[in-house]
Amino acid sequence: MTRLRVPVQLRWSDMDAYGHVNNVELLRLLEEARIEAFWAHPAPADPLGEGAAPATADRETWPTAVLDAGPGARTATLVARQEVEYLRPLGYRRTPVVVDMWIGHLGGASIDVCYEVHDASPDEAAAGAPGPYARAVTTLVLVDAASGAPRRIGETERAAWLPYVEEPPTFRRRGR
């Protein structure tokens, strides 16, 4: 079981008036984790280029981060579908949550990115921990930025992503 484990820092403003991370903001955390794990570094959207904001030693680069995406790049990634299940309330904390990710489906022009939001490592989770805060799946479609048409996943992308393909999560509730 090979997963991408991306720590994501909460912001105090992720809380809503109930005092927990808002259900919509949780998807924002997943967006951050997904960009970190799948978009090439430096992000093509960065108008400052490599020189101004060099990768530093403390920023891990994921082997899956091969997608030349972002504004200005040749590929746009469209979110076609999302499904999320909220399992227990997530409170504010200073330490990052860990977003575990894998690929539930590797299609011709799309992938299903799967997520579990944890306190820390799954090892800790195994030791009687209460399980993930949330499970989710995002279907991403790769689109040629110029033509707007879906484009096939390339060989480099497929090779980078294949080791992370695994069964998608089982949702407790399902649309009837």
Tell me how many degrees the CA angle 58-64-69 measures, rounded to the nearest 5. 95
The answer to whether the CB of 134 falls within 8 A of the CB of 115 is yes
**Sequence-ordered list of residues with C-beta below 8 angstroms from that of 94, at least 6 positions apart, any chain:** none
The answer to whether residue 165 forms part of the interface with a copy of itself (CB under 8 A) is no
Site for a copy of itself in 67-106 (CB under 8 A): 70-71, 76, 78-86, 89, 91-95, 104-105
The answer to whether residue 16 forms part of the interface with a copy of itself (CB under 8 A) is yes
The answer to whether residue 149 forms part of the interface with a copy of itself (CB under 8 A) is no
Interface residue with a copy of itself among 3, 23, 62, 153 (CB under 8 A) is 23
| Spatial separation of the C-alpha atoms in residues 21 and 25, rounded to whole Å | 7
Q: Cite the DSSP H helix spans in the chain.
A: 23-38, 49-52, 122-126, 155-161
Site of interaction with a copy of itself (CB under 8 A): 9, 11-13, 15-20, 22-24, 27-28, 31-32, 35-36, 41-43, 45-48, 52-56, 59, 70-71, 76, 78-86, 89, 91-95, 104-105, 112, 119, 137, 139, 168, 171, 173, 175-176
